[in-house]
Amino acid sequence: MDLALFDLDNTLIGGDSDFEWAQFLIGKGILERELYEARNVEFYEQYKAGTLDIDAFLDFQLQPLARHPRAQLEAWQREFLARHIRPLVSEQARALVRSHLDAGALCAVVTATNSFVTGPIVGEFGVAHLIATIPAQEMGQFTGRPRGIPSFREGKVVRVDAWLESLGLWWGSFERSWFYSDSLNDLPLLSRVSHPVAVDPDPTLRAHAEAAGWRILSLRD
């Protein structure tokens, strides 16, 4: 059996769902533009530079979930998926995921973005397994805090290890393993698989991939 892991933002989709979700809420007037837009951009630039404080970012990202009833959040979530995310999904990305699923690989999306935002997006690709940052909840209401280890940088490796263990598997269970990502932040997990693939990579990851002889792929139309 093979293992195929996929980053989500700027890899399977041509944008960042974290960033786009906040912009969506700002555009609807749910978040105050003057207070949130500059911080949203600032966090996104820090992520791209590899300097993101994940705890500060999660406080920014998850607090709005705690302010609204779950039913309202899910209605916004459906609108966000239809209007903002589906246009960012290329046929090349869908075909890549299908090729691994059709070959019988165990597939998962591994993303730093929280599971509330990303769950429906991953469903668009027909992938059953999602490893994401978990927004804590009590009785169905989000608390505004994360639960457990964020799925970010080295945390992605820890979370994948735990997921495999929960299935009675480990890295040695697979003949081949892939991880597809665009980001320098994913170097720890890219370095764990037998077939690391840089997808439309940022400059730092591109330089690393070229030096290491990794495959470089584009999924953009």
Active-site residue identified among 9, 16, 182, 186: 9
Q: HSE (CB half, 13 Å, CA atoms) of 62?
A: 24
Q: Which helix (H) or strand (E) holds 134?
A: strand 129-138
Supply 63's token pair: 């607090």
Tell me if residue 200 is catalytic: no
Q: HSE (CB half, 13 Å, CA atoms) of 130?
A: 20
Whole-angstrom Cα distance, residue 210 to residue 200?
13
What burial class does residue 2 get, using C-beta atoms within 10 Å of its C-beta: 0-12 exposed, 13-18 middle, 19+ buried?
Answer: middle
Find the DSSP H helices in 50-86.
54-62, 70-80
Tell me if residue 7 is catalytic: yes
Whole-angstrom Cα distance, residue 126 to residue 101?
9
- Which of 94, 133, 138 shows the shortest CA–CA distance to 116? 133
Q: Which helix (H) or strand (E) holds 176?
A: strand 176-181
Whole-angstrom Cα distance, residue 22 to residue 167?
34
- Residue 25, Cα to own-chain centre: how many angstroms? 19
Active-site residue identified among 7, 182, 186, 202: 7
- So which residues are the catalytic ones? 7, 9
